[in-house]
Structure 1
Amino acid sequence: MKTNKQIFLTQPLKSQTKDWNTSTGRNHKGRITAWHRGGGHARLYRKIDLKRKLTQGIVVGLEYDPNRSAFLARVFNPDTNKHNYIIAPTDIQKGDVIRSNSKRNGLQNGHSKALGHILTGSLIYNLSLSPGKDGKILRAPGAFGKILKRTKTLAKVRLKSGHYRWFDIRTMATNGIVSNAESRFTKLRKAGQSRWLGRRPTVRGVAMNPIDHPHGGGEGKTSGGRPSATPWGKPTKGPSTRRYRTQPKPNVKI
């Protein structure tokens, strides 16, 4: 996404920010459960309207968010004199009008609507799992879903992963594609930049001693000498470990 730097804002809103203590990968007992996390630059958390039921107004500009890869759009409501943050879609410009819970049919970029008011074939993002909840899926940079068909009560959406899911037509979503789609092509300039992001080094098992990892030890360079395993000896290559819950088929009324 090629963005105009002139629409970017440098200072966040004090009323919409709060302190944010990043996790170091430890649980309530102080033991590391998620490795390679810790350190990093101090961050402020921006309060984002993910329900998209009340935020409407004029786009003041875009902002960088250190807690996510997508950009944020700051929206000013002249009726209430309040600012709000939303996840910015692509091709949004300063001065664009943003509406929430809109009931107009069409392809208004950045407008949030219930699935029942979005045209079939439209691209959407910031989709909630059930009516009245925060948007949980399709929030990564460049993410979007597509509405394939609708019934009186349900809408079938193709997600970015290629999966198909049925959602209640009262579920809220936003027209468009999440901004900063080219973030995955960003290359870090030096190792310290990874530490700024809170990522700690990753050490290969074959570079360790045998007391530290099953792949460790040996004379010279070795490839482990055994099937791939975790530091605790659990096999890491094999069948999928993902659990698929069997969901009852929806009662589709056409």
Structure 2
Amino acid sequence: MKGRIFLVVLLVIVAAVAGRWMTRTRSTHLSNQEETRQSVRLETGARVEVRGINGSVEINTADTDTADVRILRTASSPEDLEYGKVTVDASSSSLVVRGENNGARGFWHWLWGGGGQVKQDVTLTLPRRVELLAKGVNGPVRIGEVEGSVAVEGVNGRVEVAQSFGHSEIKGVNGNVRIGVAQLGAQGMEIKGVNGNIEVRFKENIDADIEVKGNNGGLSLNVPNVTMQERENFSNMRARLGRGGAPIDIKGVNGQ
């Protein structure tokens, strides 16, 4: 009896998967994209978060007090666009763009004929003076000049930050990281858990203390104001820029 039950379940699953591919093939000629746009006025220092996006995130900045949001969702069929939605919660002090997690509902949709995951591409144009967080992104993240804190966590793709003027935090990135630094706040910069190469570009000479731990790769300091450098071993190093000051912590990097 157990064997028969297993066989029935297996046949149902096989039939569902076969139907899934048939459905995908029949639906290719239909519209499979949805674009939404929204604008909101933000006050200086507003909090902006982008979370749970399955696709690319591009954040541009400008001399403006308005945030423009563009979301492009792409799926295998129009029916699949009922899943993988992106919500926007906005007020004058905060903007949150969040990808929907369909959980078990999305799995059963896929099993019974729905397409794969919905790709979500998010493009923002923001005021420069914001506090920014991008977290849980399955795709590249590109950020312009931000005159506030920048935090990027849990990204499967390359990360680029044109220029930051405050505290910067990069954690859990599977890809190369490139960040420009105009100024360091009192909290400095923290880079942890990166599987890729890291390039930090300073706009001008700064005063900072650098600590590197658990680095699996080469490390070079191409700045003119290195006043102290101590290498404990291949993976660990300390250095001082100028008179020292704000901390720059780089830990657990598999790259250079």
Range into which the TM-score falls when normalised by the shorter chain: under 0.3
Select the structure that is richer in helix: 2
Select the structure that is richer in strand: 2
